[in-house]
Amino acid sequence: MEQRLANTWRMSVNDKKFIESSLLSDLRVDGRRPFDYRKLSIKFGREDGSSEVQLGETHVMGFVTGQLVPPYRDRPNEGSLAIYTEFSPMADPSFEAGRPGENAVELGRIIDRGLRESRAIDTESLCILSGKLVWSIRVDLHILDNGGNLVDAANIAALAALLTFRRPECTLSGDDGQEVIVHSAEEREPLPLIVHHLPVAVTFAFFSNDNVVVIDPTHKEEAVMKGRLTATLNTNGDVCAIQKGGGIGVLQSVVLQCLRIASVKAADMTSKIKDAVESYNTVRAFRKVKRHSAPIAVSVDGSVAIKKQSQDGAQKIEL
């Protein structure tokens, strides 16, 4: 019993009162205004399809992988997209190891709804052999540090990882055209996913006072807030998903006002994500040039050295 008391993070009543009362005068404890986001930085791993997003103190890693599998029976011509979340106890003492908890499930479902049900990723182009073989895309989201507002950070991580993911090109051959050849990255340039639009999640927190709404709540604000609304929008002004799972009631007009603010913020975020992906692609292209011009340098680097054998094939594409 006492052990349990000692292990949970807790907040003093002073903080609760202070956060609420200063919000009445539009002040937040980290010096932001109500509708400001924290500093966002998007980094990419060396491999395609991995991203690392830091939103204030929140840290999320996204990793996209693809696998060739038989399709679902009811959708023989479509690939699939699945989101998996991992809340490591490392990120927050309240996360438990093992089975994903309620929050992990909710987070996964919000992102899943935003990305999949709005058909942001073209799944039909992931079909290789109708009814037999499709690409199954798996997005793993790992929460590394919980500083509040995991949904937005995880959503950005998922988008950034999906945008930089490349799958090997496949062609059909054989007499009946039923044989699938998976081309290695050296033979043929891997293909990016077809992304129709970018649904960006924007989270609002509501407090016990009716008129107080903030964007991107921190860990402390989340402990005080009475309700949360996550709106997923794209730059076309479409609402792709909304989640307000209970909590304090808000007026319908407030919800609509939130949506309008969210659409502005979503445009903001989209350009940030696109910029980051752009610069990643430049670096990536640059890296490839180097790989061929300086083979000695390549052999030092473990990750690329394996691919050296088929350099001749790859060079052809270069030229």
Partner 1 sequence: MEKKAAALPSKFVDQLVVPGDVVLDLTTLANSTIKLGGGLRQECDTITAMKAGVLRFAKPNKYWVESSQKRYVPCAEDHVLGIVVDTKADNFLVDIKGPAIAFLPVLAFEGGTRRNIPKFEVGTLLYVRVVKANTGMNPELSCMDANGKASGFGILKDGYMFESSTGLSRMLLSSPTCPVLEILGKKLSFEIAVGLNGRVWVNGASPSSVILVANAIMNSETLSGAQQRIMVEKLLQRVQ
Partner 2 sequence: MEYVSPEGLRLDGRRPMEMRQIRAEVGAVSKADGSAVFEMGNTKVIAAVYGPREVQNRSQQLNDQALVRCEYTMSNFSTGDRMRRPKGDRRSTEISLVIRQTMEACILTHLMPRSQIDIFVQVLQADGGTRSACINAATLALADAGIPMSDLVTSCSAGYLNSTPLLDLNYVEDSAGGPDVTVGILPKLDKVTLLQMDAKLPIDTFENVMQLATEGCKAIANYIREVLQENTKQLESRRGT
Cβ atoms within 10 Å, residue 175: 6
Choose the one of partner 1, partner 2, none that binds residue 15, judging by a C-beta under 5 to 8 angstroms depending on kind.
partner 1
| Residue closer to partner 1 (CB basis): 167 or 220 | 220
User: What DSSP letter does each residue of 130-156 carry, written as one string?
Assistant: TTTEEEEEEEEEEEEE--S-HHHHHHH
- Closest separation in Å from C-beta 220 to partner 2: 18
Interface with partner 1, residue 95, by CB under 8 A: no
- Check binding of 285 to partner 1 (CB under 8 A): no
Q: Does 16 bind partner 1 (CB under 8 A)?
A: yes
> The tokens of 273 are what?
């994500």
Given partner 1, partner 2, none, residue 22, with its beta carbon under 5 to 8 Å by kind, binds partner 1
* 164 burial via Cβ count (<10 Å: 0-12, 13-18, 19+): buried
Is 34 or 192 the residue whose CB approaches partner 1 more closely? 34
Which residues contact partner 2 (rule: CB under 8 A)?
1, 4, 99, 102, 105-106, 108-109, 113, 117-119, 227, 229, 233-234, 236-252, 255-256, 259-260, 263
Identify the burial level of 301 via C-beta atoms within 10 angstroms of its C-beta, where 0-12 means exposed, 13-18 middle and 19 or more buried: exposed
For the packed helices 252-293 and 311-318, what is the interaxial angle rounded to 10 degrees? Answer: 110
156/213 with CB nearer partner 1: 213
CB-based contact 269:40 (threshold 8 Å):
yes
**CA angle (202, 21, 247) in 5-degree steps:** 45
13 binds, among partner 1, partner 2, none (CB under 5 to 8 A by kind): partner 1
Which listed option, partner 1, partner 2, none, makes contact with residue 113 (CB within 5 to 8 Å by class)? Answer: partner 2
Which residues, in sequence order, are CB contacts of 2 under 8 Å at separation 6+? none
Binding site for partner 1 (CB under 8 A): 2, 5-6, 10-19, 21-22, 25, 27-31
